[in-house]
Structure 1
Amino acid sequence: MNAVQKIGSFMSKYFAFIVILVSLIAYAAPGAFVWLGAYVTILLGIVMFGMGMTMKLRDFRVVAQQPAPVFIGLLAQFLIMPLAAFVIATIMGLPPELAAGLVLVGACPGGTASNVMVYLSKGDVPVSVAMTSVSTMLAPLLTPLIVYLLANQWLPVGAGDMFLSIVQVIIIPIALGLLAAKFLPDFTEKGQAALPLVSVTAIILIVAAVVAGNVENIATSGLAVFAAVVLHNGIGLALGYLAARVTGLDETKRRAVSIETGMQNSGLGAALATAHFSPLAALPSAIFSVWHNVSGPALVSYWSTRGAKKEKE
C-alpha cells in the first residue's frame, strides 16, 4: 500500500473525528475557510466523478435480480427521510431556512459511505450498492419534486433550476467517471487508489465551508439543528429497518435498507442548499455529514456485538 492509499485509509477510518476537528477550526477561524463556499459544487462534482469511476453495470443488474429489496429500500429512502424531516421541522418550529435545509437533505439520495457501513455490518452489499446507484440516478427528478412539495411553504423552491443543478453536479460527473473507467482503464485503476483520500478531503472541505459561513447561526441555532439532525438520522435508520422487516426481507437486507435509508448524500444537500437557498439552509447537511459517520459505525458495532452474543449463546 503506497503513501496515498495509507493516508486515504487513515482519513476514511477516522473521518468523523477529522471532520469534527476541522469544523471546530473553521468555527474558530472562519476567515480561513469561508472562501471555500464558492467551490462547494466543484468539490461535490469531484466526489461524484470518483463514484462514476467505481460504478459497474452489475450494480444495476441487482435491480433485475432482486427487485423487491431495492424497490422497498428506494421507497424508504424517498418517503421516510423527507417526511420525517418535514415532521421534525414542523414540530420543532425550525426557522424557514433550517426547515427547508432539513427537508432537502432528507430528499437526497443515499450516500456512498453507506456501502462501507453495510459491508462492515455483514449486510447485503450488492443491494446496498444498487440502492445507492439507483437513488442517485433518480435524484434529478425526485429530489426537486419532493423539496418543492414539502419545503415550498418555507422558501420558494425552483424545482427546474434544482433539477439542472443535480444534473450538473451528479449526473454529468458520474457519466464522465463511467466513460473514464471504460476508455481509460489504466488511468482509472491508478486513480482509484487515491479516491478515498480525494473524496474524504472534498467532503471535509464542504463541511468546513458551511461551518465557516454559519458561525453566528451556529451560535444561536446550532443545538436545535444538531438535535433535529440526530433525530432525523435515527428515525431513518430505525424505520428503514422496520420497513424491511415488515415486508419480509432477511436480516442482511434489513441492515442494508436501514443504513441506506439513514445515510444521505449530505454533500449534495449542502451544495443545493448553498446554491438555491442560503448558507444557513446548508447547515443541516453539514451536521448530517458529521453525525451519520458517527451513528453508522455505532450501529455496525451494535449489530456486531449482538451477532457475537447470539453465536456465543
Structure 2
Amino acid sequence: MAVVKVVQRWLLGLMLACYVLAGVFPAPGEALRELTLPAPAGAGALTVPMVLLAVMLFNAGLGVRAAELRVMVRQPVRLVLGIAANALLPLLVLPLIALALRTWPDPAEAEGLVVGLMLVLAMPIAGGAASWGQNAGGNVPLVVAMVIGSTLLSPLTVPFGMHMAGQLVGPYGAGALDDTTKVDVIARTGAGMFALMSVVLPCLAGVLVRMLLGEERARRVLPAVKAVNIVNILLLCYINAAGALGQALAHPDPDLLALALSLSGMVCCLTFYCGRWMSRWTRCDQPDGISLTFATGMNNSSAAAVLAACWFSHRPEVLLPILSYSLLQKIVAGAAGKPPRSRLDKTPSQMTAPGV
C-alpha cells in the first residue's frame, strides 16, 4: 500500500484540489448532496453525505484496539481532562466571538459564522487526532480513548452546542437571524439524532467488527480500509464544499471569506494552545501532553460540514468557517508536532480516518 502512504502525505493538497473543483464545478456535488437514499421507515431522509460520514466513522472504529481502551479507562484523570476540555472550550470561545462580531456590518453573515464555528467546535474529537498524535510521538491509546469518549458524548454535546448558538444569534444575541428557529429545532431534535446515527453508532459498529474479526484478520484488512477512507474523505470534501464555494464564487464576497478564514484560524490556534497549556499545567509527560494537545485542538469537521449542508445549504456563511477549519486544523496540527525520525516509517494502527 505504498500508494496509500503517498496519498496520505499529500492529503492536504488533495483536499485543497477538491475545494477548487467544488468551486469551479459545483453541480455534481450539489446533485450528490441532494440525492436521497432509501431508508427504514421513521428514520428520516438518508443522504449521500450521511452515508459517507457513517462509513468514515465505521472505518475509524475499525482501527480501534479494544484492549488499549481498557487500559486507558483504568487511568481516567487525563482521559476525562481531554474530553472535558474539548467539550467545554466552545462555551468560553463562542460568546466572545459573537460579542466581537456585533460590529460586523452584516448581522446575517456574522451570525452564520457563529453557527458554523459552533457546529465544528461542538463535534467530537477528530479521529485524525490519533494519527497526528502518533506521528508527533504522543500516547496513542490515550488519544484514541479520548476520541471514543468524546464520540459517545456527542448526542449530548452537539445539541447543547446548537442550543448555545441559538442563544448567541437569537434576538438577544448578535441580531435577528432568519434561521434562529431552525437552529432551535436542530438543538431539540436533529442534532442529537444526527450525532447518534451518523457518528456514535457507526463508530461503535466498527469497534465491534474489529473485536469479532480478531487482531490478525483486522490487520490484514486495515490497508484496504485506509484506501477506501481516503477516497471517502476526498469525496465528502468535494460534496460538502460544492454548495458553499459554488455560491461564494458566483457572488464573491472577499470580506466574508477573509473573516471566515481569520476566525477559523484564530479559534483553531487557540484550541491547540489551550491543549498545550493544560498539558503543562497538569505536568503531563511528553507523550500524554501531545495527546492532550491534539485531542483539544482537533474536531470532527466532516460531521459538522455534513450537518451544516443538510440544514444550511442556502447559507454559505455557515459552511465557510467549517471548510476553513477543516483545512487549517491540519496545517496547525502539522506545526504542533513534528514526527520523530524513528516514527516516520510507522503506519498508524489505531484510528484510520486522518481527515475526520
TM-score by length of 2: 0.77
Task: Tell me the distance in 2 between the aligned counterparts of 1:57 and 1:202.
Answer: 24
- Counterpart position of 1:42: 51
- Counterpart position of 2:174: none
Deviation at 1:72, TM superposition (A): 1.3
- Counterpart position of 1:123: 138
Deviation at 1:50, TM superposition (A): 0.6
Deviation at 1:148, TM superposition (A): 1.0
> Once the two structures are superposed, what CA deviation does each residue of 1:180-222 show, in whole Å capped at 9, x if it has no partner?
2233458744432122222222222222122220123363222
Deviation at 1:119, TM superposition (A): 1.1
Q: Residues 192-207 of structure 1 correspond to what in structure 2 (within 5 A)?
A: 192-207=222-237
- 3-state DSSP class of the match of 1:109? coil
- Counterpart position of 1:31: 27
Matched, 1:183 2:251: no
Gap change, CA 1:188 and 1:61, over 3 Å in 2: closer
Matched, 1:21 2:56: no
- Counterpart position of 1:228: 263
Q: Is the 8 A contact 1:81 1:232 kept in 2?
A: no
What is the letter of the counterpart of residue 305 of structure 2? A
> Once the two structures are superposed, what CA deviation does each residue of 1:144-187 show, in whole Å capped at 9, x if it has no partner?
11221244442323222211111111122123323322334587
Task: Tell me the distance in 2 between the aligned counterparts of 1:264 and 1:114.
Answer: 8
Task: Tell me the distance in 2 between the aligned counterparts of 1:292 and 1:20.
Answer: 13
- Counterpart position of 1:72: 81
Deviation at 1:225, TM superposition (A): 0.8
2:296 paired residue among 261, 268, 291:
261
- Counterpart position of 1:58: 67
- Counterpart position of 1:170: 199
Task: Tell me the distance in 2 between the aligned counterparts of 1:299 and 1:14.
Answer: 18
Task: Tell me the distance in 2 between the aligned counterparts of 1:187 and 1:89.
Answer: 50
Matched, 1:282 2:319: yes
Gap change, CA 1:256 and 1:234, over 3 Å in 2: same
Query: Is there any run of 5+ residues in structure 1 with no aligned partner, and where?
Result: 306-313
Task: Tell me the distance in 2 between the aligned counterparts of 1:11 and 1:89.
Answer: 38
Task: Tell me the distance in 1 between the aligned counterparts of 2:194 and 2:99.
Answer: 27
Higher helix share: 1
- Counterpart position of 1:212: 242
TM-score by length of 1: 0.87
- Counterpart position of 1:9: 5
Q: Is the 8 A contact 1:105 1:264 kept in 2?
A: yes
Q: Is the 8 A contact 1:89 1:228 kept in 2?
A: no
Query: Is there any run of 5+ residues in structure 2 with no aligned partner, and where?
Result: 35-47, 170-179, 342-356
Deviation at 1:233, TM superposition (A): 0.6
Number of aligned positions between the proteins = 300
Deviation at 1:59, TM superposition (A): 4.1
- 3-state DSSP class of the match of 2:21? helix
Q: Please identify, of 226-235 and 32-41, the stretch whose mean Cα deviation from structure 2 is larger.
A: 32-41
Task: Tell me the distance in 2 between the aligned counterparts of 1:84 and 1:114.
Answer: 21
Deviation at 1:89, TM superposition (A): 4.2
Gap change, CA 1:87 and 1:217, over 3 Å in 2: farther
What is the letter of the counterpart of residue 169 of structure 1? S
Q: C-alpha root-mean-square deviation of aligned residues, in Å?
A: 2.3
Gap change, CA 1:103 and 1:62, over 3 Å in 2: farther
- Counterpart position of 1:238: 273
What is the letter of the counterpart of residue 100 of structure 1? V
Deviation at 1:232, TM superposition (A): 0.9
Percent identical: 22
What is the letter of the counterpart of residue 55 of structure 2? I
> Once the two structures are superposed, what CA deviation does each residue of 1:231-277 show, in whole Å capped at 9, x if it has no partner?
11100000111122112222322221111111111111111222234
Matched, 1:100 2:115: yes
- Counterpart position of 2:286: 251
